Every structure is written in structure tokens, then in C-alpha cells.
Amino acid sequence: MLWAAYSDLTRYLLPNKLCLAAAALYPIFLLTTYVDGDGMPFYDILMSVVIALVIFAVCAGFFALNIMGGGDVKLIPIVALWAGSTHVLPYLFITSVVGGLIAITIIIINRVNRSKYYKSSENINLYVAEKKISAVPYGIGISIGGFYVAYQLFAGFNQTIGI
């Protein structure tokens, strides 16, 4: 999740390697739930997959409308897969609120920058606006929501093994 936040903040990019790594670790997580004999029920696993697929379909629609980036479309459902039916709604809420706050911050920065014009030269009265930020690093919101999910899974795992 730190990798996602940093990469999206600095390069507006959520690498495929990141999404593949997060997805590949899920079966390993499922195996760890069977360590003490209390594995995750098949119904819960199936519900997690269905929820992730539905979220992917919705996000793919947003991508087709040029509302979301491709990395966000891949990472949001992967974290939702981990969240499962128990934690998916709080995860989506946290991700949406943090992402929305970042978007509002970018809008405010753009408005402030638009009001700051400067002369391009002392001899020419041509005013130039500063560069406008158009992308939203939504990976930060996804990461914070992912940290919530990771904490909840860790706390639940510790309760089942008696730590």
C-alpha cells in the first residue's frame, strides 16, 4: 500500500507489478487461514470474488468514460477482494472520502493558481497562468483504505489464533 501511495503521488502510476503482487498474495493469505484448522468458508471466498468482480466492472465502466485511471481500476477491486463482504463497505467509504479530499485539494490549488498570473517578460505585457494539475493520485485513498483492511484482517487473524 505504501508503494501504491508513493508511486501514484510521484508518477500518477500504479504499476501492474503492484497489482499482480497484491492479487498473488491473496491465495497465500487464504492458506494461512487454514493454519489452525479454522479456514475461511468457501462461501466467504466466493462472495469476496463476486464483490471484487462487480467492483471491477463498475470501475472499468468509469475507465471507459475516462473518469478513472487504469491502475485505480485494477487496485480497487484487488483490495476489495481482500476486504471481503465484511470490510468492503468501510474500505470503499474510506477510499472515497480520502480520494475526494485529495480531489478537492487539487481543485482548490488549481483555483488559487489560476488567480496568480505573472508576466512572461518585463518588456511584454503578456500574462501566463501556472500549470494546471489535472490528475488525482487516487492511489493514496486506495492505500489508506487498504491499510484499514490490512489492520482489520490482522486483528481478526490474531483473535482466531489467540494472540
Other beta carbons within 10 angstroms of residue 63's beta carbon come to 16
The count of structural domains within the chain is 1
Average pLDDT score over residue span 147-153: 95
SS3 assignment for 22-59: HHHHHHHHHHHCCCCCCCCCHHHHHHHHHHHHHHHHHH
| pLDDT attached to residue 32 | 84
* Residue ranges making up the domain that contains 78: 2-161
Contact of 120 with 128, CB cutoff 8 Å: yes
Task: Give tens-digit pLDDT for 121-147.
Answer: 555 555 555 566 778 899 999 999 999
pLDDT of 69-109, one tens digit each? 999 999 999 999 999 999 999 999 999 999 999 999 998 98
Measured distance CA(26)–CA(34) in Å, rounded = 13
Q: Locate 58 and state its grid cell.
A: 463498475
pLDDT reading at 155 higher than 80? yes
- pTM recorded for the entire structure: 0.85
